[in-house]
Structure 1
Amino acid sequence: MEAAQTVADAGPDIGSGLGLRVAIMQPYFFPYIGYFQLINAVDLFIVYDNIKYTKKGWINRNRFLQNGQDCMFSLPLKSDSDMLDIVERELAADFNPRKLLQQLSGAYRRAPYFAQTLPLLEAVLLHDDKNLFRFLEHALRKTCAHLGIATEFRVSSTIPIAHELKGKHKVMALCQAVGAHTYVNAIGGMDLYEPQEFRQHGLELKFIRSKPFEYAQAGADFVPWLSIIDVMMFNPPEIIQSTLDQGFDLI
């Protein structure tokens, strides 16, 4: 519908400030629509590669709809130290992407936008790279292109800062290194970051909160916040675009 340099319509309020708007996140596997709203709402999206892999998090797994119920799908990983960064993790040697593709295809074959979404799933799942970070970054870029999101991507380790920094200090260093004016974070960051501290470093801090987004699925009861796959399978491009542009509040 790969990543270019600008965002077309950034949504409510976000264009009111001057300067570069930046978001920084670890990569996730086919994340929910709020993740893509965040990417769409900024000029530059920095994706973490040199940050610790979070075990039992959402980096390499998500939820899809099967027979009206939410089910988990995941990328199996090679057994390794829990202390490694995302870029140091590898997919399991026995990972069978065609089996996962078959599982997702079987679940959504009767969805109204299955034919439009299947080529994206094929391009992502059949990507020939066993490195976890590169596999996920490729998936994010491909999905953004499919959704019409034109935000520029940067990989965190390529930005010249003191990479031993942690938490908010690393976030602010990355923002300053790329000349950001505004840092936009997911709503969960409200418990972690203080606007005044960011202002002291020349940065405006904003949080993005997704509005409820309900649509017709295959089951009797709506299951919210599934993988973006579910959104793409059941919604026309114009509805998805509207939700990406306007289906959130900035606070």
Structure 2
Amino acid sequence: MQPYFFPYLGHFSLIAAVDEWIVFDITQYTPRTWMNRNRILHPSTGWQYITVPLSNSSISIKTSEARVLNLSEAKTCIIGKLSHYKKKAPYFEAVNAIVHEVFDTATDDSLVQLNVGGLNAVCCYLGIPFNYRICSDLNLSLPENLRPGEWAPEICSMLGATSYVNPASGQNIFDPTDFARRDISLHLAQSPQFVYNTAPYPYEPNLSILDVLMWSSPTVVAEAIRNGVVINEKISPKFSE
């Protein structure tokens, strides 16, 4: 999966459902995506973005090459937006500590490292194992000009994986036969919506895990993550019964 910035709860359900997580950072970077921004409640209405500005946001770079413009300023801006809920959200201090930890322990300006640090910090807070490898560190000899749906089966095959799990929302990019001919099973994960109390503010769905954690106990969130994903196998037609 691409390295997203404090993604929504369903992303962590997927992490909890797999044995190993491959951080997919070897293709063209796409600006204005969930890799450098996400959403939290807005204090007036709806939601607002929390963003990590980049010094080189461009389609001419690979995701692994994306660099944060200024870690300290990005952290200050995000903490400022979260601070609206200091006296309202019951778990504000825990989330505040997570954000500080992730930014303060970043060893360089790599967006990928920052985002992986965020995933790891949230998983540690919730007691969810996060066994990962970063694709650009693996030095895989992959074929050139792979289509979007071909990366996953190719990488799985090279790493000796026997199954692959992807969110059901992205199933249309895959051809199950690409997995079947490599003896790899393709699974699709569906995560039901997790609704939580944000009073006195209206609830907004599918926000960043930071928003979820501000309003919900780690025990409740961890349970929703572990039990909230349904994984089905997508069978290639030629192997159907």
Tell me if the contact between 2:86 and 2:93 (Cα under 8 Å) persists in the aligned partners: no
Match of 1:173 among 150, 154, 179: 154
> Structure 1 residues 219, 54: CA separation in 2 closer, same or farther (over 3 Å shift)?
farther
Match of 2:32 among 56, 60, 72: 56
User: Taking structure 2 as the reference length, what is the TM-score of the superposition?
Assistant: 0.86
> Structure 1 residues 86, 197: CA separation in 2 closer, same or farther (over 3 Å shift)?
closer
> Structure 1 residues 178, 187: CA separation in 2 closer, same or farther (over 3 Å shift)?
same
User: What secondary structure, in the 3-state scheme, does the structure 2 residue paired with 1:180 have?
Assistant: coil
- Cα RMSD for the two superposed structures: 1.9
1:110 matched residue in structure 2: 88
User: What secondary structure, in the 3-state scheme, does the structure 1 residue paired with 2:162 have?
Assistant: strand
Moved more, 235-244 or 31-40: 235-244
Match of 2:60 among 83, 101, 107: 83
Give every structure 1 segment of 4 or more consecutive aligned residues whose post-TM-superposition deviation is greater than 6 Å: none
User: What secondary structure, in the 3-state scheme, does the structure 1 residue paired with 2:48 have?
Assistant: strand
2:214 matched residue in structure 1: 233
1:222 matched residue in structure 2: 203
Tell me if the contact between 2:20 and 2:132 (Cα under 8 Å) persists in the aligned partners: yes
CA distance in 2: counterparts of 1:81 and 1:118, whole angstroms: 30
Which residue identity lines up with residue 59 of structure 1 in the other structure?
A: M
Instruction: Quote the offset at 1:53 in angstroms.
Output: 1.1
> Structure 1 residues 192, 219: CA separation in 2 closer, same or farther (over 3 Å shift)?
farther
Match of 2:49 among 69, 72, 78: 72
Aligned residues: 227
User: What secondary structure, in the 3-state scheme, does the structure 1 residue paired with 2:186 have?
Assistant: strand
User: What secondary structure, in the 3-state scheme, does the structure 1 residue paired with 2:47 have?
Assistant: strand
Tell me if the contact between 2:162 and 2:184 (Cα under 8 Å) persists in the aligned partners: yes
Tell me if the contact between 1:28 and 1:60 (Cα under 8 Å) persists in the aligned partners: yes
Which residue identity lines up with residue 154 of structure 2 in the other structure?
A: A
Tell me if the contact between 1:75 and 1:95 (Cα under 8 Å) persists in the aligned partners: no
Structure 2 residue ranges without an equivalent (≥5): 233-241
- 1:103-148, Cα deviation, whole Å (9 max, x unpaired): 2123344201112222111101334421212221222222221121
Match of 1:140 among 113, 119, 123: 119
Structure 1 residue ranges without an equivalent (≥5): 1-24
Which residue identity lines up with residue 232 of structure 1 in the other structure?
A: L
Identity, % of aligned positions: 30
Residue correspondence of structure 1 range 145-160 to structure 2 within 5 A: 145-160=124-139
CA distance in 1: counterparts of 2:58 and 2:194, whole angstroms: 38
2:110 matched residue in structure 1: 131
2:177 matched residue in structure 1: 196
Determine which structure has greater relative contact order: mean sequence separation of CA pairs < 8 Å that are 6+ residues apart, divided by chain length.
1
Moved more, 149-158 or 165-174: 165-174
2:236 matched residue in structure 1: none
> Structure 1 residues 151, 219: CA separation in 2 closer, same or farther (over 3 Å shift)?
same
1:47 matched residue in structure 2: 23
Instruction: Quote the offset at 1:220 in angstroms.
Output: 4.6
